[in-house]
Homo-oligomer: A and B are copies of this chain.
Amino acid sequence: MNEPVPTLDDVAKMAGVSTATVSRCLNEPGKVIETTRDKVMKAVDALGYTPNFAARVMAAKRSYTIGAIVPTLDNAIFAKGLQAFQEALHARGYTLLVSSSAYKPDIEKEQIRTLVARGADGLLLIGYEREGQIYDYLARQNVPALVAWAFDADGPVPSIGFDNHAAMRAVTQAAIDRGHRRIAMISGVCAGNDRAQKRLDGVKTAMAEKGVSPDALAVIETAYTIEAGEAAFARLMARTPRATAVICGNDLLAVGALQSAKTVGIDVPGDVSLTGFDDMELARIVQPTLTTVAVPHREMGQAAADELVAMVEGTSPGRSRLLETEIVLRASLR
């Protein structure tokens, strides 16, 4: 925290260019040739330089602005939790600015930098999986960060979240307890997404514990959308022997699977059982209704706001909290 703040001069020196060139790279990157721009941006990264001096001045005072970077604004996966987060922040006099990274680490990094440069007092991040130097950068900038939608008591920053592994293990156990042995999974893309990876691991753990070989698990990794769920389910159903239970990484994938089943005349749950994750409103709207994992979205958003504000205001060193999830048994699992 008491490290000297890197200056434009430091960046210029490290990159071996003039300060004017550094300025141009930051303000009008299109006007600088690529090799120079790369050199400068590497120096900016290495030093953790924040492009805008005015932003530094501003950051010295509290801005009463909190940033949140979520993987997507589409499809309401994060919407309910964010809404609660925002309401709780508003009650404490803070404004929330949200950015969406489209599940791309490079975009997330750029957005973290933008929010810090715009003077955000603190940041909410989803999950832990990102380059370690981002955490170093935030520490150097003295911007507290909190992770949600995941939990790790030993993570580089505190988290208010839930145990993705345990939740998916429990829902898989429920399927195995009902006699299912041929299990398949439609998973989110695991690369760069610790939540998706932990959910997949949870399925494997439950299988191993119940004496069902996880080697036999057919897994398709795909985007978290209804359409992707439809396509993945159709592919899984073409395999023999056919799975009798398909565990889906979230409700959107499960709803897509259900649509696909209707199209090709597979009865759910008569022929195949399905489960989701999130307990979105969709889960009780579709026919058959969806067995899923209820995530305490509102509680998580609210608790995250309380904790992050306490960190920003220096009344908490940052305390992690594990929230409970719950299996909601509905018609799609038999």
Contacts and interface: CB of A to CB of B under 8 A. Distances in A.
B61 A58 contact: no
A95 interface: yes
A90 interface: yes
A139 interface: no
Q: Which 7 A/B pairs are nearest by Cβ-Cβ distance?
A: A54-B58, A118-B118, A54-B57, A97-B97, A76-B76, A95-B114, A98-B98
B62 A86 contact: no
B118 A65 contact: yes
19 contacts: A29-B93, A52-B63, A54-B57, A54-B119, A65-B118, A72-B83, A73-B79, A73-B83, A73-B86, A73-B98, A74-B79, A76-B76, A90-B102, A95-B114, A97-B97, A97-B99, A98-B99, A285-B285, A285-B286
A241 to B, nearest CB: 29
A64 B110 CA distance: 11
Q: Is the interface of A mostly helix, strand, loop or mixed?
A: helix
Interface residues of A, number: 50
A97 B73 contact: no
B96 A96 contact: no
A302 interface: no
Contacts of A54: 54-55, 57-58, 119
B76 A74 contact: yes
A27 B79 contact: no
A115 interface: yes
Given A86-B73, A281-B226, A61 B97 contact: no
B95 A111 contact: yes
A213 interface: no
Contact of A74 (B83, B255, B286): B83
Contact of A118 (B29, B74, B99, B119): B119
Nearest to A262: B287
Given A73-B82, A76-B74, A79-B75, A100 B100 contact: no
A86 B114 contact: no
B97 A100 contact: no
